[in-house]
Amino acid sequence: MQAAVPSRFPLKRQARIAVLASGRGSNLGVLADEFSPDNPLGRVDLVLSNRAEAGALKLAVHRGIEAHHIPWTSRAAFERAALLALAAAGSDLVCLAGFMRILSPAFVRKYEGRLLNIHPSLLPHFPGLNPQQQALDHEVAESGCSVHFVDAGVDTGRVILQRKVPVQPGDDAAALAERILEQEHIAYPAAVRLLLSGGAQ
Ligand code: GRF
C-alpha cells in the first residue's frame, strides 16, 4: 500500500474547485450554490464535461462559470485537455459529479487527495454501474450515498462521508435513486466543506 500524500487543506486562501460532469448536473448545482464566489472556503470556477449536451454545461454557463466541452475521443486526449484546463484555472480540488468515465491511474495520482467522487450507494457495497438496482437486487433495507476520494479503482477510494436512506417496499431503481439524490445534495457540499477546512485527512 502506498503512503497517503499529506493533505494540502486547509489552504490559507479561497480554494478553486473544478467539477467534471457528464449529465444533468444537479450535484454541480448544489456545489456551485454553496461554493459561490463569496464563500471564503472555496468557489466552483471551472466545469468540464465529456458530453456537449450535458445539462451541467448549460447550468455552468447560466451561472457564469467557465465551462468547456472536452470530447472523449480517447481517454488520453480527454485527459491531456482536462489537465491543461485544470492547470490554467489553478484548480485545487476536482469534484467528479455524475462523471461517467474512468480516469487513468496517472491522472488520479496527479490529483491524489484532491479528487472526489459521489456514488449513490453505501460503499464498499455496490460500486460501479446501476448501484440502485444492485441494492434492490440484494434486498437491502437501506442504501444511500458516499463521497469518497478517487483512487485507481472504481469507487474504491477512502470514504469521507455517507448518508443513508431506507429502501421502501415497492421501490424501483428510479424511486430509490430520487431518494438517494436528495441526500447526495446534502452530502457533497458537506464533504467538500469538511475537506477544505482540514477535517478529512
Ligand atoms: C448521481 O446520482 C451521482 O451519484 C451519480 O450520477 C448521478 C449524477 O446526477 N454518479 P447529477 O448529474 O449530479 O444530477
pLDDT at 47: 99
Find the mean pLDDT for residues 39-48.
Answer: 98
Strands 93-96 and 115-119: parallel
**34, 181, 182, 188: residue to mutate for ligand 1 pocket, most atoms within 8 A of CB:** 181
Lining residues, ligand 1, CB within 6 Å: 21, 23-27, 97-98, 118-120, 181, 184
Q: With 90 as the cut, is the pLDDT of residue 137 above it? A: yes
Q: What pTM did the predictor assign?
A: 0.96
Q: Which one from 62, 68, 119, 185 is the annotated catalytic residue?
A: 119
d(CA 63, CA 113): 28
d(CA 191, CA 164): 15
**100, 163, 184, 186: residue to mutate for ligand 1 pocket, most atoms within 8 A of CB:** 184
What percentage of the chain reaches a pLDDT higher than 70? 97
d(CA 31, CA 84): 22
Find the mean pLDDT for residues 184-193.
Answer: 98
Ordered DSSP codes for 38-62: T-TTEEEEEEEES-TT-HHHHHHHH
pLDDT at 3: 53
Q: With 60 as the cut, is the pLDDT of residue 184 above it? A: yes
Q: What is the atom index within ligand 1 of the atom nearest the CA of 55?
A: 12
Phi, psi of 45 (to 5 degrees): -130, 10
The pLDDT-based confidence of 1 (bands split at 50, 70, 90) is very low
The C-alpha cell at 97 is 459529479
Q: How far is the CA of 18 from the centre of ligand 1 (A)?
A: 16
Chain segment 167-178, per-residue pLDDT in tens: 999 999 999 999
Strand partners, 126: none
Kindly give, in sequence order, each residue whose CB lies less than 8 Å from that of residue 70, ignoring residues fewer than 6 positions away: 48, 49, 50, 78, 81, 82, 85
- Catalytic residue status for 148: no
Element (H, E) at 144: strand 142-149
Burial state string for 18-53 with b = 16 or more CB within 10 A and e = fewer than 16: bbbbbbbbbbbbbbbebbeeebebbbbbbbbbbbee
Which is nearest to 26 in space by CA: 190, 192, 181, 189?
A: 181
The residue contributing the CA closest to ligand 1 atom 8 is 98
CB 147 within 8 A of CB 121: no
Mean pLDDT of the chain, nearest integer? 96
pLDDT at 82: 98
